[in-house]
Amino acid sequence: MRIGILGSGVVGRALATGYLRHGHEVRIGTRQSELDDLPIGPAAQVAADSDLVVLAVQGAVAVELVSGLAAELDGKVLVDATNPLDMSAGGPQLYVGTTDSLGEQVQRAVPGARVVKAYNTVGNALMVDPDLPGGPPTMFIAGDDPAAKETVGDLLRETGWDVADLGGIEASRYLEPMCMAWVAYGARNGTWTHAFRLLRQPTAG
């Protein structure tokens, strides 16, 4: 699959490296002029050329960035890995929640894109091929387009994840606070290689 990644932070680079390892065609859309040995390009070109685009930019710039790429993202699967984090008080705090979410804001900003919230409840070190005792952890996803979620689910399973679909994009309201639970556990225990796992009866969805 041709995968474009917007943002060259630790998330963008971890996903790019992992997807390349799995044989996907990957390019990072970035403001940088070069980036280690990873393939890069201007964000608009990368979005236009990709089958699936991952949004991996700082949460505060996510809506503005996708708004400027509405034409290139039209009809595309847009995986939203962002979290609405405000770091101004020192530690991270959510700047939106309860009745809205960054996932919903991104979908509203690009109504033609098929947004799927994913990756926001785990650290970048485990995003591709997580290897943990107890088997594959669970990636919780949310989005309004069933076919887009199927595509993202296939990519996640291929790269080592169990997948749990929480429904429409408004479930981002629950997924974004989950990132804070992940951070709180990490800060308390000094570890950043943990992930959530959903246990269910074999017949449950």
Residue choice 3, 4, 5, 11 for contact with ligand NAP (CB under 6 A): 11
Q: Bridge partners of 25? A: 2
* Count of chain residues binding ligand NAP (CB under 6 A): 23
Residues 101-130 within binding reach of ligand NAP (CB under 6 A): 119-120, 123-124
Residue choice 8, 50, 107, 159 for contact with ligand NAP (CB under 6 A): 8
Residue choice 15, 38, 46, 85 for contact with ligand NAP (CB under 6 A): 85
Query: Rounded to the nearest whole angstrom, what is the least distance from the CB of residue 99 to ligand NAP in the complex?
Result: 20
Three-state secondary-structure class, residue 66: helix
Q: Bridge partners of 93? A: 86
- Contact call for residues 114 and 145 (beta carbons, < 8 A): yes
Contact region with ligand NAP (CB under 6 A), list: 29-37, 70-78, 156-164, 168-176 = 29-37
Q: Which two tokens stand for residue 156?
A: 């996640």
- Contact call for residues 125 and 185 (beta carbons, < 8 A): no
Helices (H), the chain: 10-21, 43-49, 59-67, 70-73, 102-109, 146-158, 172-189
Q: Is 93 in the site for ligand NAP (CB under 6 A)?
A: no
Query: Rounded to the nearest whole angstrom, what is the least distance from the CB of residue 155 to ligand NAP in the complex?
Result: 16
Q: Is 58 in the site for ligand NAP (CB under 6 A)?
A: yes
CA dist., res. 8 & res. 82, Å (int): 13
Residues found near ligand NAP in the complex (CB under 6 A) = 7-12, 30-32, 56-59, 61, 65, 81-83, 85, 119-120, 123-124
